[in-house]
Structure 1
């Protein structure tokens, strides 16, 4: 059989079906079509790169857009035949039932026999192939797919019964610093290209409740703790993630860039991100999706490539609050391997009855400087007040976060080697053992491996802060930032404090407090902006209730125009 080539562009489904039929009818000794077909071809992105050199934001003056190492054919070939048999007519029939729907609605359609989990998976795969194989629409978001996901979905259809967790049968995408059996965990770094692992604790929890792991998504390399001032959403392995609301116009946010962009573009039901300081809140805000940074300890970190065991946490990223609560609940569980992990017996129901909450009588703190500087923030708070909420204007004290960077530097110096020791299975292939080793590896080909440098890695190895001083920094910053929030909340009897995007992410991070960001609107340019709720430790249930009430009166999220 001759080599079949598909010119990059939107997939012609009819052509794919014809190719599949021809292959099935060809002689048996011919090689499988997946080994021959070219679904994607690299392109010359120099013109696009040159055009962005005049961008107002220096971080968006890219040095590359597409990955120099990842062949998308390797990602997309294994499932190609299954996706090619999913017709455009099936896609259009299912679209009203799936696109932008929440998990309870999807489960209701399945129960009624109108939708199967297999169809749900194929619907999302169809979208992913349609947009990610076209160089004019790709977001460089999907960097791995679960080859068994269609069969797994079919099995879920057969085993479905009443009483299962709502996440059952739902396709979920994972940030590629989360260990997943059967898919390598790269953290976006070339040195980890072949990193094989078992499942992270939260992935075990998801699978135990019946979730379908659809694939892995791009991220800022090493969770944006590699280079200084470089583009967010960039990794040497996956290339430059792009924002569906404005490709090469708006930042994706980082480091969970792929989790945010995949949710915005409707590539799955839900996604998991991770945050040290702003890495869930930022990409959720930039992509007009709902993101929760939980209290440290609510979700396990075991099996996640670390920056800081003090501040790291995974968290749910979804298109609505209900799905966020469901995904959060599905990942929870006491992990004996994580010293910060807590038993989640808070006497709450995380996802039921969210719709019954109202804003009436709820008290919120609003930052005076944000009210003065941001009209969307002010209009949103006026709308909340009209719905019965009480807004208390705050003039918070200035809290310098002295030593914050040393927490990240010294934790990563210890925590990354521990991850490699405990979780990397193929140590003969992954020969690095600590940050200094990775730096030496990167310097062997700096153009390919570190085109934006490795300034933050340099800071890790040069930070001379003592362990005793670090302990004091952690204690002081936690107490100072908790006082920053607690005094405002307690003195004014507030239910939550309201911020914008990830503006106060560092404060919530060192306080180890939860923060929930929800779409608030769009700037005149079309760039998304979000409202962020911050509460006290382990008040996630309260924040989700408040977020659901807010979402009812200000449901502003729009599907990106090019991805409808």
Structure 2
């Protein structure tokens, strides 16, 4: 295909060379050539109308760190790179314990890397929308208090999807309406991470309003952050979404981990498409309080990491009961996600593989071969045909109620009383700036006549349909898990309340990443992590993207 080569050439033509400008200085570039190059992309969602954000001056992101980053320099970056890039959390903690680096070194390395790559139009991924101005000082404090550490997440820099409230940083959901919105308090999961010693490095881009705003628009686009690009092929491959920036940032080694959110596929999709590990937990395992919602029925946050062990560590640090989110009280209290990793095995495990995928996806077939070689019993299945009619109405019915609740209880006071209709009216003030791809899904929300009683009936019906999709083959064949690809069956898992975890399973002939996705019944995350860790150890498919 010629479109991706032309896209890359168009971006490269505008790149700053070291002799032209300092590495840290971002300059807006002429993106018309890059947009024209993608105008004939075979995937209509990748026919971009714009790439750069019209709201963001990237130089402001790293301005608080200029002196520290200039002092850090290329030599120290190159010295630390082998200790940091592609390393899991236990390895990083080992380096700190041995004195090879500090948490300040680690944090500064990631900030330097973000500035280095995001300042250059030939390498920028448009993944980061905010950075914690106190990140280096926070790291110094964590170094001083390291003796008090009680959790392996301690000192690890984490990025958050920009629909997760942070009291020190804007939370925008990617929307122009919220471009200057800083909420009064953190989301519950952010407080959980902080309590366990994590370092919040910043916020990452997302598909605007968690991809429930425009129709058939590019994944990874938001008015605030612009167009996130896939590090395995900028302008060539989709980023997945809606946790696009989370997947891209982890793949690009911008942090040790990121947090995403999912209603239906929004963690699994960008994780698989950026060759990282993503977990959509059982709804209620992690709190939704302080997260811009789509659906209180189906929303959940979850960890996105380079390895399964890191995923378990982050999940352990963020989960917990929250009085403000009643469903969290239904989750089992005693969990041991890390023990599940060490105990994970494929020997004797019964896994259901979908016949249609075995026949049509060579990477999936190779993954099944690897599972069998590791002792798993893989059974071909054809799941029952079920109907997801009404799924969209559940999201419509929830969001028209849940978004005003967020504005009234978790947003800055000036947004009290805001709702979907109000957001639509704001966008119409400047459609080119606020909604270049339209707002068809918002229009669908206000047009949907679903009532409260009708919504409850739809949720119950869809839950039974989703359970049938998984439960029948699981029971018939005595399966430990069902295996799929990417987010292909995420909607069924969403309504069935099944958790899912995707692990890198390789790359297409064109270089596009794909993930093997495991599904298990509700609250069986330990089983999920154990199976995924065993497959990861047997396959070792993740390869870092070719970035500087």
TM superposition score category, shorter chain reference? over 0.9
1:238-285 CA distance string (max 9 Å, x none)? 100000000000000000000000011000000000000000000001
Aligned partner of 2:201 among 214, 223, 226: 214
Shift of 1:368: 0.5
| CA distance in structure 1 between the partners assigned to 2:269 and 2:21 by the alignment | 40
Distance in structure 2 (CA, Å) of the matches to 1:61 and 1:432: 36
- Written as runs of structure 1 = structure 2, the 5 A alignment for 1:367-446 is 367-427=354-414, 430=415, 433-446=418-431
Question: Counterpart of 1:147?
Answer: 133
Q: Which structure 2 residues correspond to residues 186-335 of structure 1 after superposition, within 5 A?
A: 186-197=172-183, 198-335=185-322
Residue 9 of structure 1 pairs with residue 2 of structure 2: no
Whole-Å Cα distance in 2 between the matches of residues 302 and 444 of structure 1? 30
- Give yes or no for contact 2:387–2:465 (8 Å, CA) kept in 1: no
Match of 2:433 among 448, 462, 478: 448
CA 1:406–1:105 in 2, change beyond 3 Å: closer, same or farther? Answer: same
Alpha-carbon distance between aligned partners in 2 of 1:354 and 1:413, rounded to the nearest angstrom: 40
SS of the residue corresponding to residue 387 of structure 2 reads coil
In structure 2, runs of 5+ residues without a counterpart are 1-13
Cα distance, 1:547 vs. partner?
0.4
Deviates more, 1:84-93 or 1:208-217: 84-93
- Residue 346 of structure 1 and its aligned partner are, at CA, apart by 5.2
Question: What does residue 93 of structure 2 align with?
Answer: 107
CA displacement 1:213-250 (0-9 Å, x = unmatched): 00000000000000010000000111000000000000
Q: Residue 33 of structure 1 aligns with which residue? A: none
Superposition TM-score, scaled by structure 1 size: 0.92
Counterpart of 1:29 in structure 2 is none
The count of residues paired between Structure 1 and Structure 2 equals 534
Residue of structure 1 aligned with 2:158, choices 172, 187, 196: 172
Structure 1 residue aligned with 2:328, among 306, 326, 341? Answer: 341
- Say which one has the larger Rg: 1
Q: Is the Cα contact below 8 Å between 2:206 and 2:245 reproduced in 1? A: yes
Matched position secondary structure for 1:85? helix
Corresponding residue to 2:494 among 509, 516, 529: 509
Q: 1:379 to 1:328 in 2, by over 3 A?
A: same
Distance 1:191 1:12 in 2: 39
Q: How does 1:84-123 map to 2 (within 5 A)?
A: 84-123=70-109
TM-score (norm 2): 0.95
Aligned to 1:351, the other structure's residue is in SS state: helix
Task: Check whether the contact 1:11–1:129 (CA below 8 A) recurs between aligned residues.
Answer: no
Determine which of 448, 453, 478 is the counterpart of 1:463: 448
Q: 1:110 to 1:435 in 2, by over 3 A?
A: same
2:17 and 2:279 map into 1 onto residues whose CA distance is: 34
SS in 2 for 1:317: strand
